[in-house]
Amino acid sequence: MKNIILIAPPAAGKGTQAKLLCDKYNLVHISTGDLLRSALNNNDSLSLKIKEIMSSGKLVSDDIVLDLLFNKLEKLENTNGFILDGFPRNINQAKLYLDLVNKFNYDLKVIYINVPLNVLQNRILGRSFCLNCGNSYNEFIDDLKPKVDGVCDKCGTTLIKREDDNVQTFEKRYDEYIKETYPLIEFFDNINVLNEVSGEDTVSEIFSKISAIIDGCLND
Ligand code: AMP
C-alpha cells in the first residue's frame, strides 16, 4: 500500500496539496489535526484538554494522536494507499510509526514542502475554510482566493477562520515545528525516503512537482 507523508511548516499548504493528491491518485487523506478537531466534539474532559493544547499551538501528546491514527488506519480498505498530513510531528512519533510501516510493508515516500517564515506569516492571516464542505481558501494566494469575498465557491456557505490561525498561535506553532518537526527532515533523509519541493510557487505548480515525485514512486 502506498503511503505518502507530507511534512511542512504550518500554513505551507499541506492540506490543499493532500486533497488534490488524494483525488488524483485515489488515496485516503488522513490529517491528524482533523482527527483531533473531530474528537473535540465529544465535549468530555479529554476533549477540553485537547482543545486547550491545540489553541495554545503546542503538540497534543503522542499517545492520544497515535491512538486516533492507528484506529483510523485499522479501518482503511479498498484504497491504493493514504496520505498523512500533520503526522509524524516529532521523532518519537516517526519511530513508532516506522514500526508500523515495516510491519505492514507500506511503500513510504516523504515529501517536504519548504516555505520560508516570512511567506508563512502572510499566508496564515489570509486562510479561511468552509465548515459545510471543507473547501479551503486563502485571500493572499491567487489560485486560492474565493470568487466572492468570504463565501465558499462550491456551496455558498460563509467562510470561517480556524481558531488557531492568528499571529500569536502561529508563532507558537512555528516554534514547535522548528523544535519538534524540523529534525524529521534529516531523520527521513537518512533512511532515503525524503523528497523536497519548494512551496513558494502556485498551488498547481507545487502539485505538478509533487505528482512527478509520486509518479516516479508509482512506477517503481
Ligand atoms: P494541523 O491541523 O495539522 O495544523 O494541527 C493543528 C493542531 O493539532 C496542532 O497545532 C497540534 O496542536 C495538533 N496536532 C495535529 N497533529 C498532531 C500530531 N501529529 N502530534 C501532536 N499534535 C498534533
> What is the residue-level pLDDT of the chain in tens, covering all 220 positions?
899 999 999 989 898 999 999 999 999 999 999 999 988 887 788 888 899 999 888 999 999 999 999 999 999 888 889 999 999 999 999 999 999 999 999 999 999 999 999 999 888 989 999 999 989 999 988 889 999 999 999 999 999 998 888 888 999 999 999 999 999 999 999 999 999 999 999 999 999 999 999 988 554 4
The verdict on whether 209 is a catalytic residue reads no
The verdict on whether 14 is a catalytic residue reads yes
**Residues 69, 63: Cα–Cα separation, whole Å:** 10
Q: Closest ligand 1 atom to the C-alpha of 54?
A: 12
| C-beta 30 within 6 A of ligand 1 | no
**pTM score:** 0.86
| C-beta 32 within 6 A of ligand 1 | yes
